[in-house]
Chains A and B, each alone.
Chain A
């Protein structure tokens, strides 16, 4: 595997990782609004597509005003998550840009065997090419197109237990300073 391939693979996977982390946080709110609105618009024609509206017209007590309020809430959340996504992507790009400029000096052992051409970092679609930045370059994910399908939630499953060794029991006479302290705190 040559270095340029590896760099590209990492960049792509990095984008994928970021997209995975953000996809669920960006599109569903908008999907929700559109779905609710569509359900309302289509209520006269298609009873199967009016889950929310059907609820509004049955004995469940949900009113049109509640539906509108809920749709508005989802829309507001979508806007907040979109703003957050932009912040995170900007930070990732900033990190990639800055680390690319200095990491060659600080960590030369990670320099790819075969140099590859660098592209302007101002271009969000540029690919990373050197040392640590090969995996730290992110481009803004394409705007999420509202779809009917919502992404499944990312599952935060246990990893270290299965991988073993992550919780090593080294240590010595002198205890290292802890980075943080766990305590009970239930809000």
Chain B
């Protein structure tokens, strides 16, 4: 049996597809409810979110947080370490200063970002921004987080992927045989779709979205571990795939985009205009895609290969795809 639930959350179109022997609709509805719970905890666009509460208490010492928020902050710090700072969730003040202080649709609607023409003016790439992430303290045992004064966390570029990880794992734990969680294009799959040997996922080329002749890259994923054994171990094989791009979410006549370079605090000017990464977890794919976008093209290829990620990298004129998991394109 299969049930598909489509809805809007986290500022994006979302979809959950559940395969199970029964109760698929119930599980799909539950998945949507879980997205809402996570968004209420993690969103920086909801005034009453727990994350905003935590941010408002920066500089006050250890703050007790829920398990969901603790999970998010832990993964934020891990991602910051893995990407050597290229993923930096402490850029909230810079992002807000740029006018990106609300849901993207709302920002565009009010035209706030039109006023950031001076974003890069007067700034050279030699300027070095110091991240505060290293000073964020996490006490897992006590479930407490300490933020340095004036520092706020932004879950952008990790929240959707991590949420998809959580939901996919919970649905599989509940007995699903296959799950696909798509939160705004950040996708996690686990198990298998009914009567299929693999999941097949497509990569949208956003350089020329109106070109219908362009064939999409396809990524194929099939878990190797028997489902019952995975369930017994409580660990499910998953594939996370995510795309980061400067081609999307642009404003000011297309001259501005939402990707900031943590090294300078300024809008990035990358060689790579679209990075799609896939690996064993949604959050890791998402932050890896963001990091790759901020690297030089050759550097990104080397880094992704070294870290065993599957990838498709696009510049304005070329595209490079790893052989890992690609079946057609």
- Distance between A175 CB and nearest chain B CB, rounded to angstroms: 4
- The answer to whether B243 touches A150, judged by C-beta atoms less than 8 angstroms apart, is no
- CB contacts (< 8 Å) of B309 on chain A: these are 161
Chain B interface category by residue count: 35 or more
- Distance between B17 CB and nearest chain A CB, rounded to angstroms: 7
Chain B minimum-CB-distance residue to A99:
B21
Q: Is B327 in contact with chain A by the CB < 8 A criterion?
A: yes
Chain B minimum-CB-distance residue to A136:
B175
Q: With A73-B50, A136-B21, A167-B239 in contact, is A184–B185 under 8 Å at CB?
A: yes
- Distance between A152 CB and nearest chain B CB, rounded to angstroms: 5
Partner of A62, one of B60, B170, B176, B193: B60
- The answer to whether A148 touches B142, judged by C-beta atoms less than 8 angstroms apart, is yes
- CB contacts (< 8 Å) of B200 on chain A: these are 175-179
- The answer to whether B140 touches A150, judged by C-beta atoms less than 8 angstroms apart, is yes
- The answer to whether B142 touches A150, judged by C-beta atoms less than 8 angstroms apart, is yes
- Distance between A74 CB and nearest chain B CB, rounded to angstroms: 6
- The answer to whether B206 touches A14, judged by C-beta atoms less than 8 angstroms apart, is no
- The answer to whether B26 touches A94, judged by C-beta atoms less than 8 angstroms apart, is yes
- The answer to whether A182 touches B233, judged by C-beta atoms less than 8 angstroms apart, is no
- CB contacts (< 8 Å) of A92 on chain B: these are 173-175
Q: Is A143 in contact with chain B by the CB < 8 A criterion?
A: no
- CB contacts (< 8 Å) of B71 on chain A: these are 24, 153-154
- CB contacts (< 8 Å) of A17 on chain B: these are 173, 231, 233-235
- CB contacts (< 8 Å) of B160 on chain A: these are 185, 187
- Distance between B198 CB and nearest chain A CB, rounded to angstroms: 7
Chain B minimum-CB-distance residue to A161:
B308
- CB contacts (< 8 Å) of B234 on chain A: these are 13-14, 16-17, 20
- CB contacts (< 8 Å) of B70 on chain A: these are 24, 28, 150, 153
Q: With A163-B237, A182-B203, A187-B45 in contact, is A88–B186 under 8 Å at CB?
A: no
- The answer to whether A95 touches B66, judged by C-beta atoms less than 8 angstroms apart, is no
Q: Is B263 in contact with chain A by the CB < 8 A criterion?
A: no
Chain A interface category by residue count: 35 or more
Q: With A29-B66, A151-B67, A165-B224 in contact, is A91–B174 under 8 Å at CB?
A: yes
- The answer to whether B21 touches A102, judged by C-beta atoms less than 8 angstroms apart, is yes
- The answer to whether B220 touches A169, judged by C-beta atoms less than 8 angstroms apart, is yes
- Distance between A87 CB and nearest chain B CB, rounded to angstroms: 5
Chain A minimum-CB-distance residue to B43:
A187
- CB contacts (< 8 Å) of A123 on chain B: these are none
Of A40-48, A52-60, A114-122, the one contacting chain B is A52-60
Q: Mark B295-329, 1 if CB is under 8 A from A, else 0.
A: 00000000000001110000000000001111110
Q: Is A139 in contact with chain B by the CB < 8 A criterion?
A: no
- Distance between A86 CB and nearest chain B CB, rounded to angstroms: 10
Q: Mark B238-282, 1 if CB is under 8 A from A, else 0.
A: 110111110111000000001000000000000000101011111
Q: Is A168 in contact with chain B by the CB < 8 A criterion?
A: yes
Interface set, chain A 110-167, CB cutoff 8 A to B? 132, 134-136, 138, 148-167
Partner of A180, one of B103, B174, B201: B201
- Distance between A166 CB and nearest chain B CB, rounded to angstroms: 5
For B59, B103, B104, B228, which residue has the most chain A Cβ atoms within 10 angstroms?
B228
- CB contacts (< 8 Å) of A21 on chain B: these are 166, 169-170, 173
A21 to B15 alpha-carbon distance, docked (Å): 21
- CB contacts (< 8 Å) of B278 on chain A: these are 167
Chain A positions within 8 Å of B, measured between CB atoms, are 9-10, 13-14, 16-18, 20-29, 31-32, 35-36, 51-52, 54-55, 60-62, 66, 69-70, 73-74, 77-78, 80-81, 84, 87-92, 94-99, 102-103, 106, 132, 134-136, 138, 148-171, 175-187
Chain B positions within 8 Å of A, measured between CB atoms, are 10-13, 15, 17, 20-23, 26-27, 30, 33-34, 37, 40-41, 45, 48, 50, 53, 57, 59-68, 70-71, 74-75, 78, 103-104, 140-144, 156-157, 159-160, 162, 165-166, 169-170, 173-176, 180, 182, 184-187, 189, 193, 198-204, 206, 215-216, 218-225, 227-228, 231-235, 237-239, 241-245, 247-249, 258, 274, 276, 278-284, 308-310, 323-328
16 A-B contact pairs sorted by A residue (CB < 8 Å): A51-B61, A54-B61, A74-B64, A87-B33, A88-B170, A91-B175, A153-B75, A156-B165, A169-B326, A171-B218, A176-B200, A182-B202, A182-B276, A184-B244, A185-B185, A187-B11
